[in-house]
Amino acid sequence: MTAVTPITTGRRPPAAVSRSRRGRTGWIFVGPFMAVFALVFLAPIAYSLYLSFFRDQLVGGTSFVGLDNFQRAFEDEQFWAAVGRILLFLVVQVPVMLGLALLVALALDSGRLYGKSFFRIAIFLPYAVPAVVATLMWGFIYGTRFGLVGNINDAFGVSLPDPLSPSLVLASIGNIVTWEFIGYNMLIFYSALRVVPKSLYEAAEIDGAGEWRVITAVKIPAIRGALVIATIFSVIGSFQLFNEPSILQSLAPNAITTYFTPNLYTFTLSFSGRQQNYAATVSLVMGVVTMIIAYAVQLRGMRKEA
Amino acid sequence: MSAPSFTADQTPRRTTHRASAPRRAVRRQHSVARPRRSTVLTILMGLTAVYALMPLAWLVINATKTQKGLLDSFGLWFSGDFALWDNISQTLTYDDGIFVRWFLNTLLYVVVGAGGATFLAVLGGYGLAKFDFAGKRAVFATVIGAVAVPATALAVPTFLMFSKMGLTNTPWAVIIPSLISPFGLYLMWVFAAEAIPTELLEAARVDGSGELRTFFQVALPLLTPGIVTVLLFTMVQTWNNYFLPLIMIKDPDWYPLTLGLNAWNQQASTAGGQPVFNLVITGSLLTIVPLIAAFLLLQRYWQSGLAAGSVKG
């Protein structure tokens, strides 16, 4: 974190006194955030750790079971099937989405477009649409009832594959998520590109670099930080996949099971299955898996930078 | 780099008059820095824009159809009757005007939740950027670590905790977790470090201004683009929130729009339920209009604020 500039106290002689006073003042500003943060982040994590060591049974009530819940999670085929599905989703959807977002951002930044500000806002707009509305819209569009797929089939006498069939539903969800977040990621990349010093481009040009070479050798390395951040956020977002499959479930009950994604599974466990201790355990395991992968992405991003 | 230069992107229009004459005289060649416009690239971008806008066009078109029209007509073109106004009035009055209630709930969650989140993020970000204090590294590590914890992994334990505290099924259950935006804190931190010269704060202190007064009168005005950016992004998050209210709120009177719309959609698949697809579609349109309007109106602020946030990203 290079953004933090240490306070220069050199001009004022009693530096030690003023530093300790400033120390308290710093907490006045950060304290409110940290207090709420402790309530909604730290306390639930601690509480779920506590819950994960117990089991609630109809007969016998709550009892301490040590690591039994964790052992169950590691042997739970439904849970790992859901994790596997998310990993498949992740390795396809995230690169497609970020790749497109990067291309769009580079195109905007190149200055070669007509109507640049129109494109910038048009491609960003889906981000302002709630996931619920996005899924309802795409659900209707996919559907055969009054969807475009049904329309095209009727109009041209063809039979397009059903986007909501078990084999295609994951790709259909990937399309919704891509649609929702291309614009957001595009904007992150574009904003990062805007602040790359223009002198770098001119220097590269004098060295005889063509436009493509400037992109690969100057622009992309210059925004590596933004790329890493966007990748981490997308990975975390994928692991949290819930809204889209949960809403599509009513349209495609056979294709989307109650354990389609890890989050759908914890939701089912705690609210339909009344297995809240086990749900807390699964949440924790998911949190750890997510952090490991996010950390790995970060390390990889940093290593390239070196 | 000082804060005003981040808005450079928006200013050329104002400066062209001054700059265009000498530029035309020099007639430099096209280069990476001064490129030629490309029709092919514009067409390719056009395809991406069609992909982005097609579902929205679908929504607008289909909000003008009656329930029967939805089934009979082609999805991307209008049907015979124009029923938009009728649909809107039906949406607003159906089931004793529950949609209006959901709208007001959403507004409450957004004003208190996103407003509060922005305020906490601005205070915290400023504190982290401009003060040296014991525990600062720990704050940084905890908050960054927490970003990696999936919010949904927290949801179940938060629900259980809140239900013990008697908060579930009240607006507080949605508002309190919305008050924390780690991304907002990070953005404000980076933004404050860039936009507020430390010398200015020193000067205010020398003049005898208290820390809080310095914050409100000196720092806050400089932070405006960052604040607008954080506010818009926390607003979107709260306005679009679905999972949290889904588990916290059972009483339809406290639903936000997202939960309400999904409930209407599911009516069609429940036994004895009356399908109201035209209301789902019109309601969806009414749900996204305020946010899209906010983004369009505040464009120049949030885009410049975001550019500052991503410098160190």
Our CA-based measurement puts residue A292 at a distance from the nearest CA of chain B, in whole angstroms, of 9
pLDDT exceeds 70 at position B29 = no
Residues of A in contact with B284 (CB under 8 A): 133, 136-137
Q: How many CB atoms lie within 10 A of CB A45?
A: 19
Our CA-based measurement puts residue A73 at a distance from the nearest CA of chain B, in whole angstroms, of 14
Per-residue confidence (pLDDT) for residue A10, from 0 to 100: 42
State which amino acid sits at residue B305: G
Closest residue of A to B68, CA-based?
Answer: A146
Q: What is the pTM of this model?
A: 0.84
Per-residue confidence (pLDDT) for residue B3, from 0 to 100: 37
State which H helix or E strand residue A292 sits in.
helix A276-305
Q: Do A242 and B190 touch (CB under 8 A)?
A: no
CB A98 within 8 A of CB A178: no
Closest residue of A to B216, CA-based?
Answer: A29
Our CA-based measurement puts residue A168 at a distance from the nearest CA of chain B, in whole angstroms, of 19
Closest CA to B286 of B94, B58, B69, B92: B92
Per-chain mean pLDDT for chain B: 80
Residues of A in contact with B156 (CB under 8 A): 48, 266-267, 270, 276, 279-280, 283
Per-residue confidence (pLDDT) for residue A185, from 0 to 100: 92
Q: Do A33 and B148 touch (CB under 8 A)?
A: no
Per-residue confidence (pLDDT) for residue A64, from 0 to 100: 81
A271-287 average pLDDT score:
85
**What confidence tier does B312 reach under pLDDT thresholds 50, 70, 90?**
very low
A180-188 average pLDDT score:
91
- The beta-carbon neighbor of B153 closest among A201, A209, A283 is A283
CB A264 within 8 A of CB A242: yes
User: Which neighbouring-strand residues pair with A56?
Assistant: A62
- The beta-carbon neighbor of A225 closest among B6, B36, B312 is B312
**What confidence tier does A142 reach under pLDDT thresholds 50, 70, 90?**
confident
CA-CA distances (angstroms) from residue A168 to A147, A255, A267, B156?
16, 9, 23, 30
Per-residue confidence (pLDDT) for residue A289, from 0 to 100: 87
Residue B115 contacts by C-beta under 8 Å, 6 or more apart in sequence?
A: B231
Which letter, b or e, does each residue of B179-216 get, where b requires 16 or more Cβ atoms within 10 Å of its Cβ?
bbbbbbbbbbbbbbbbbbeeeebbebbeeebebeebbe
pLDDT exceeds 50 at position A4 = no
Distance CA A22, CA A45 (A): 32
**What confidence tier does B25 reach under pLDDT thresholds 50, 70, 90?**
very low
Report the range of poorest mean pLDDT among A91-105, A244-258, B260-274.
B260-274
- The beta-carbon neighbor of A141 closest among B75, B143, B277 is B75
Per-residue confidence (pLDDT) for residue B21, from 0 to 100: 46
pLDDT exceeds 70 at position B32 = no
Distance CA B73, CA B83 (A): 14
A19-29 average pLDDT score:
74
* Half-sphere CA count of B170, side-chain side, radius 13 A: 9
Q: Which of A1, A9, A33, A302 to mutate to test the interface with B (most CBs of B within 10 A)?
A: A33
CB B140 within 8 A of CB A1: yes
Residues of A in contact with B190 (CB under 8 A): 3
- B174-233: per-residue pLDDT in tens? 999 999 988 889 888 888 888 888 888 888 888 888 888 888 888 898 898 889 888 988
**What confidence tier does B12 reach under pLDDT thresholds 50, 70, 90?**
very low
**What confidence tier does B17 reach under pLDDT thresholds 50, 70, 90?**
very low
Distance CA B238, CA A274 (A): 28
- The beta-carbon neighbor of B288 closest among A111, A129, A214 is A129
- DSSP string over A24-56: HHHHHHHHHHHHHHIIIIIHHHHHHHHHTTEEE
Per-residue confidence (pLDDT) for residue A56, from 0 to 100: 76
Highest mean pLDDT among A92-96, A197-201, A277-281: A92-96
Retrieve residue A34's tokens. 């940290």
Q: Do B124 and A202 touch (CB under 8 A)?
A: no
Distance CA A141, CA A147 (A): 4
Per-residue confidence (pLDDT) for residue B198, from 0 to 100: 86
Our CA-based measurement puts residue A36 at a distance from the nearest CA of chain B, in whole angstroms, of 7
Retrieve residue B16's tokens. 């062209």
pLDDT exceeds 80 at position A156 = no
Per-residue confidence (pLDDT) for residue B148, from 0 to 100: 66
- DSSP string over B8-29: GGG-HHHHHHHHHHHHHHH-PP
**What confidence tier does B105 reach under pLDDT thresholds 50, 70, 90?**
very high
- A59-91: per-residue pLDDT in tens? 667 778 778 889 888 998 999 999 999 999 999
User: Which neighbouring-strand residues pair with A64?
Assistant: A54
**What confidence tier does B26 reach under pLDDT thresholds 50, 70, 90?**
very low
- B108-164: per-residue pLDDT in tens? 999 999 999 999 999 999 999 888 888 888 888 888 777 767 666 788 888 888 988
**What confidence tier does A11 reach under pLDDT thresholds 50, 70, 90?**
very low
Per-residue confidence (pLDDT) for residue A99, from 0 to 100: 95
The three-class DSSP label of residue B170 is coil
Per-residue confidence (pLDDT) for residue B228, from 0 to 100: 87
Q: Do B1 and A137 touch (CB under 8 A)?
A: no
Measured in degrees and rounded to the nearest 5, phi and psi for residue A217 equal -100, -25
Per-residue confidence (pLDDT) for residue B313, from 0 to 100: 36
Per-residue confidence (pLDDT) for residue B309, from 0 to 100: 54
Could you say which DSSP state residue A62 is in? E
Our CA-based measurement puts residue A167 at a distance from the nearest CA of chain B, in whole angstroms, of 23
**Residues B305, B309, B311, B313: what is their CA dihedral angle, to the nearest 10 degrees?**
-150
- B79-97: per-residue pLDDT in tens? 767 778 888 888 888 888 8
Higher pLDDT, B188 or A9: B188
Our CA-based measurement puts residue B96 at a distance from the nearest CA of chain A, in whole angstroms, of 22
- A214-240: per-residue pLDDT in tens? 888 888 888 888 898 889 889 888 888
**What confidence tier does B9 reach under pLDDT thresholds 50, 70, 90?**
very low
Residues of chain B with pLDDT > 90, as a percent, come to 25
- B48-63: per-residue pLDDT in tens? 999 999 999 989 888 8
pLDDT exceeds 50 at position A175 = yes
CA-CA distances (angstroms) from residue B71 to A134, A248, B68?
20, 19, 5
User: Which neighbouring-strand residues pair with A62?
Assistant: A56
Distance CA B167, CA B162 (A): 5
Per-residue confidence (pLDDT) for residue B92, from 0 to 100: 87
State which amino acid sits at residue A174: G
Q: Which of B59, B64, B149, B212 to mutate to test the interface with A (most CBs of A within 10 A)?
A: B149
Q: Do B76 and A3 touch (CB under 8 A)?
A: no
pLDDT exceeds 60 at position B287 = yes
B253-273 average pLDDT score:
84
Per-residue confidence (pLDDT) for residue A58, from 0 to 100: 64
Residues of B in contact with A140 (CB under 8 A): 58, 62, 75, 277, 281
